[in-house]
Amino acid sequence: MSAPFDRSLTGAVDAGLGQDAGVSPLAGDEERVVESALRPHSLTEFIGQPKVSRQLALVLEGAKRRGRPPDHVLLSGPPGLGKTSLALIIGSELGTSVKITSGPAIERSGDLAAMLSNLAPGDVLFIDEIHRIARPAEELLYMAMEDFRVDVVVGKGPGATAIPLEISPFTLVGATTRAGLLTGPLRDRFGFVGQMEFYEPAELQQVLRRSADLLGVELTEDGSAEIAGRSRGTPRIANRLLRRVRDYAEVEADGRVTREVAMAALALYDVDVLGLDRLDRAVLEALVARFGGGPVGVATLAVAVGEEPNTVEEVCEPFLVRAGLLARTPRGRVATEAAWHHLGYPLPAGGAWLGGAGGASGGATGTPSTPGASSEPLFDA
C-alpha dist (Å) from residue 335 to 162, 258, 308, 330, 375: 58, 34, 20, 14, 17
Closest Cα partner for 72 from 30, 136, 126?
126
What is the distance between the alpha carbons of residues 261 and 274, in angstroms, rounded to a whole number? 17
Closest Cα partner for 227 from 271, 182, 270, 187?
271
**Between β-strands 171-176 and 124-128, what pairing exists: parallel, antiparallel or unpaired?**
parallel
Tell me if residue 101 falls in helix, strand or coil.
strand
**Between β-strands 256-257 and 218-219, what pairing exists: parallel, antiparallel or unpaired?**
parallel
So which residues are the catalytic ones?
Answer: 83-84, 128, 177, 236
In a 13 Å sphere around the CA of 86, the CA atoms on its Cβ side amount to 32
DSSP state of 79: T
